Chain A
Amino acid sequence: MMGRIWTGDEVTEDTTLTCDVCVVGSGAGGGVLGLELAKRGLDVVMLEEGGYHTRRDFDLDEAKAYSTFYQEGGNRATDDLAISIFQGRTVGGGTTINWCACFRTPPEILERWRDVHGVKGLDTAALTPHWDWLEERLSIRDWPIERANRNNRILWDGLGALGYSRGTVKRNVRACAALGTCGVGCPTDAKQSTLVTLIPEAVEQGMRLYANASVRQLSTQGIRVTAVHADVLDPATSRPTGKKLTVNAKVTAVCGGAINSPGLLLRSKLTGRGNVGKRLFLHPVVISQARFRERVEAYSGAPLTVYSRQFIDRGPGKLGWLLEVPPLMPLQSAVALSGFGAEHQEHMASLPHANALLSICLDGVHPGDEGGTVALRDASEYTRFKVRYPLRDFHWEGFREALKVSARIQFAAGAEQVMSPHSRPVVMRGEKDIALLDRAPYSPLECSVVSAHQMGGCAMGGSPETSVVDSTLRYWDLDNLFVVDGSVFPTALGVNPMETILGVARWGSQHVAAAVGSTA
């Protein structure tokens, strides 16, 4: 079988394909799975609703990038808009537009999945050979502090000055020119996304990839998925062309990512005994912005290279967080940073002097923290889901404390001003002003929250009463349906999720392959 990549404009009539495995989605999970199955000689068809965008399209134009390569044109959010959600929608999924930070899963998280959620066989020992392979294949290497940009250096220095733990981050890059534009697509192919690594290799092995193919539904009969139904989209507008793509596969693997994978199952009337769409985790993030006298140029240089997990565990019942910095591209900063009118212009005018700290909060590991939910919206709302994520006192307490810590770190590193993410920002000019954060309002839309790490929605677990997939990633009630992406996580991680998803997908590929064998 000759592999190839097709785009929506090439599918000019209704088409039916047959294959061993239909992989829905081409991101971290789908990319790995597609290659592993193709390498085993299986006939794989991959469907991706995003376009096939390559370095030719990565022209660093932010407005185009968000509206083209991101879910809902960069506008995904919870229903009340209180949490903005950034997620990829392009061949390579999130790996094409993410910031290249790679972490292995913290062992305590895998232990929790085993002890609390009943997951079997997925521990550090099981994942290590897969991570070793992936780190070699995707060139995942430490980015030493000597190469950190000023934005990351500020975090490093601030942490050091306060005696907090700190580390450098591994990145999946090869000959990276440190442009800082990872979030809008890498123009040099330095980023070792699945777009430029595993997917081409899978295609060379015979995989057929259809971009602009939005899977709307899975047909089932008894305990089997019988067909995968996709709308073909116009690559120029991303609207349905009216042409249909149907795939009849022995096995189907849904790899659409958290939010979309549960969404697809729900559209297919697969509710997993009420568990589909539950336990959605977002790693909710609050951003502390600082201004320095000197130029920081946080839009330039490798975006994310320093971290601290000093505050990840604050004890029972307390939200903990991971500290990192984001790149500050103009459009993204304008939307994400607080303020309005002249005040906002003032911040934008000093963008080259701005630094920002992310507090990435670990959700789903405390009693009663069930995260959010995904549900269906009106059928006419083609790309949208009803995402709810109730923010409770528990979250706000954590956000407030995280902002205080961030401000301290920024001042310790020499900030002349620190600004909170409130819709009317709290402006602090020195340590003594940090107490002002205690008096600020903490409620939806008064303090802005964002997410770039979606997990859960099709939780893996030990019982069909509490989870959607079993410990082989198989949907509990169907023989030939698997979910292989970040949506299977029973909790969030407390580190950036890509490497965990890649590892789980490579580990899980054995189960998907076995299911083809057993049904062939």
Chain B
Amino acid sequence: MSLSRRTVLKQGMFASALLALGGSSFLALREGLSLPIPEEGLQVFGPAEYATFQALARRAFPAREGFPSADTVRVAFLADRLLARGDPSIAREVRQVLGLFDNALAGLLFSGHVTPFSRLPPAAQDAVLEGWRSSRLVFRRTAHQALRALAHAAYYSHPDAVRATGFIAPEGFHDANAPVWRGSADGAFAGSGGTSR
């Protein structure tokens, strides 16, 4: 549930400096994975962030029988839509995190590779993710948590993923046409409340 974020990149001088450096360096400009943009368009992510997030989602949800793939579920697309519903500042921070995550300079500093995360082979991506998860720097763990939670929220918002867990929502209880009471002009309140006058 807890998808995104926070002042992830504002936490500590080191992170701020890295962000500033990352934006201007040669390495930072190394291009990450490119993926076709969904036909519905994107509301929050830019193309690079979209591809980075989808690359992460492929590692979060490796092939497993009975479970839909990250691509079937379109995790990055659903994440984009989840972010679009929230406070714009959250989306801004997730985009910053993704930028840093795929940044080759950050990669060089943290794990010694100069290939953006999204273009690394799967095993190397897993190692990068593990590096962020278990880092001694709290801001890296925060970033990992933000992206992990967003990916899980997006994936398990898809009915096929929910079904794969074995969960079956109770049926026959929800009434999409239940009347909505707004006051006594609509008659007495039809909910379960009595009165206590």
The answer, yes or no, to whether A444 is at the interface (CB within 8 Å) is yes
Chain B, interface SS category:
loop
Task: List A contacts of B17 (CB < 8 A).
Answer: none
The answer, yes or no, to whether B195 is at the interface (CB within 8 Å) is yes
The answer, yes or no, to whether A156 is at the interface (CB within 8 Å) is no
Closest to B140 in A: A445
- The stretch among A2-10, A313-321, A471-479 that forms the contact with chain B is A2-10
Within 8 A of B (CB), among A42-57: 52, 54-56
The answer, yes or no, to whether B138 is at the interface (CB within 8 Å) is yes
Task: List B contacts of A348 (CB < 8 A).
Answer: 67, 156, 164-165
The answer, yes or no, to whether B191 is at the interface (CB within 8 Å) is yes
Chain A, interface SS category:
loop
B174 in contact with A3 (CB, 8 Å): no
The answer, yes or no, to whether B183 is at the interface (CB within 8 Å) is yes
Choose from A4, A62, A174, A192 the contact partner of B182 (Cβ within 8 Å).
Answer: A4
- The stretch among A183-191, A275-283, A398-406 that forms the contact with chain B is A183-191
Task: List B contacts of A381 (CB < 8 A).
Answer: 87, 89
Shortest B80–chain A CB gap in Å is 13
The answer, yes or no, to whether B120 is at the interface (CB within 8 Å) is no
Task: List B contacts of A378 (CB < 8 A).
Answer: 89
Choose from B1, B61, B64 the contact partner of A336 (Cβ within 8 Å).
Answer: B1
| Distance in angstroms between the alpha carbons of A299 and B167 in the assembled complex | 8
| Distance in angstroms between the alpha carbons of A190 and B175 in the assembled complex | 14
Closest to A351 in B: B165
A75 in contact with B167 (CB, 8 Å): no
Shortest B78–chain A CB gap in Å is 8
Within 8 A of A (CB), among B25-80: 59-62, 64, 66-67
The answer, yes or no, to whether A81 is at the interface (CB within 8 Å) is yes
Identify the interface centre among B3, B59, B144, B167: most chain A CB within 10 Å of its CB: B167
Contact mask for chain A residues 155-173; partner B; CB cutoff 8 A; 1 contact, 0 none: 0000000000000000000
The answer, yes or no, to whether A249 is at the interface (CB within 8 Å) is no
A73-B90, A349-B66 given; name 13 further pairs at CB < 8 Å: A5-B182, A73-B86, A77-B6, A81-B142, A188-B173, A198-B193, A330-B165, A334-B153, A340-B60, A352-B167, A377-B89, A380-B89, A444-B138
13 A-B residue contacts at CB 8 Å? A2-B185, A52-B182, A56-B180, A60-B174, A62-B162, A74-B2, A79-B7, A84-B149, A203-B189, A331-B156, A341-B60, A444-B138, A445-B138
Binding site for B on A (CB under 8 A): 2-6, 39, 52, 54-56, 58-60, 62-63, 66-67, 70, 72-77, 79-82, 84, 86, 133, 137, 174-175, 177, 179-181, 187-190, 192, 195-198, 200-201, 203-204, 237-238, 299-300, 329-332, 334-336, 340-342, 344-345, 348-349, 351-352, 377-378, 380-384, 423-424, 444-446
Binding site for A on B (CB under 8 A): 1-8, 11, 59-62, 64, 66-67, 82, 85-90, 126, 129, 133-134, 138, 141-142, 144-146, 148-149, 152-153, 155-157, 161-162, 164-167, 169-170, 173-185, 188-189, 191-197
